[in-house]
Chain A
Amino acid sequence: MAAKFDDPSSAVNLLVGRGYIEAALTAWTVGDYLYDNGRGGAGFIKRLEPPPPEIWEIRITYPSPFVRIFGRFAEPDTFIATDMHTREFLGPKGSVAWNQACQACDAEWHRLFPSDPPLQGSIVADYITENCDEFPLP
């Protein structure tokens, strides 16, 4: 992910722009309030349907095309980003590209932390302890 972020010719930087991604990451790291999207779902961040389990996405929803940063939580408030893709690349939920992206996140986690499972929880507050709306988890 570092390579994609720093490479001005990467798809996410060319199509979306590093500035938007950086702004989203700033919101996370400085503790901005993270709102749900008002429809009982996730706005800024969302846990994806398993399998594999405990894959999360930070959702950059403007401009278009949108960006998804995949990763997992190591502990509360500690998000480990493994890769990012444009929403266009991923296609509809359940697509081959989407499933491959989730599997790649899982594989990267196990490659990096072979003996450390990701954080598991049942509510949002298990993962993000402050400044975040509660929203349903799949």
Chain B
Amino acid sequence: MSSLSLSTFTPNYGFARTRDLAFAAVRNFWKLRQAEGMTQADLAERLGRDKAWVSRKLSGPTNWTLRTFGDLVDAMDGEVEITIADIRNAPSGNYDAYADYGEKQLEKRWQPPQNTSNQGSVFFFQGASGA
């Protein structure tokens, strides 16, 4: 089966990935604040925005800017900490999503049927959730 062929630099990848990570971090932090009783209306009031704007921004990173990210974090009484990982020595290409699987989990692993005429035409995307 074909594996994803990652290039060293792909235009827009860094931008999209960074925005996804920023959104995930804000969304995660928002869940904490929600559990403490903060509402979207509270956020909207702090930001001087309408609730619909807050709802849109917390539902996905579409049209997010650096200002969106910073303002949301600040309004939630958060502080951004940024680290950059050096991926030069990180494994690329054939990432082994089963690396942390135990023996019993590996026994249950789904195996694609042997169908050599279709080799190279399908991507298998294994979520790394530890299942």
Contacts and interface: CB of A to CB of B under 8 A. Distances in A.
A30 B87 CA distance: 14
A114 to B, nearest CB: 8
B39 interface: no
Contact of A35 (B10, B60, B123, B127): B60
Interface residues of B toward A: which range? 35 or more
B60 A131 contact: no
B121 A2 contact: yes
A128 B60 CA distance: 19
B130 interface: yes
Interface residues of A, number: 47
Residues of B contacting A: mostly: loop
Interface in B6-21: 6, 10-17, 19-21
Contacts of A35: 23-24, 27, 59-60
A59 to B, nearest CB: 9
B62 A78 contact: no
Contacts of B97: 29
A43 B60 contact: yes
A82 B125 CA distance: 11
A19 to B, nearest CB: 3
Contact of A82 (B4, B122, B127): B122
A27 B129 contact: no
Contacts, number: 136
A38 to B, nearest CB: 3
A21 to B, nearest CB: 9
Interface string A25-66: 111111111011111000100000000000000000110000
A1 B122 contact: yes
A111 interface: yes
A29 B122 contact: no
Contact of B122 (A2, A32, A130): A2
A88 interface: no
Given A61-B62, A74-B110, A28 B125 contact: yes
Given A28-B125, A61-B62, A112-B115, A75 B110 contact: yes
22 contacts: A1-B123, A2-B120, A18-B13, A19-B12, A20-B12, A22-B10, A24-B20, A29-B128, A31-B127, A31-B128, A32-B20, A35-B59, A36-B59, A37-B60, A39-B59, A74-B112, A74-B124, A76-B131, A78-B125, A116-B113, A129-B129, A131-B129
Interface of B: 2, 4-6, 10-17, 19-21, 23-24, 27-28, 55, 58-63, 95, 97, 110, 112-113, 115, 118, 120-131
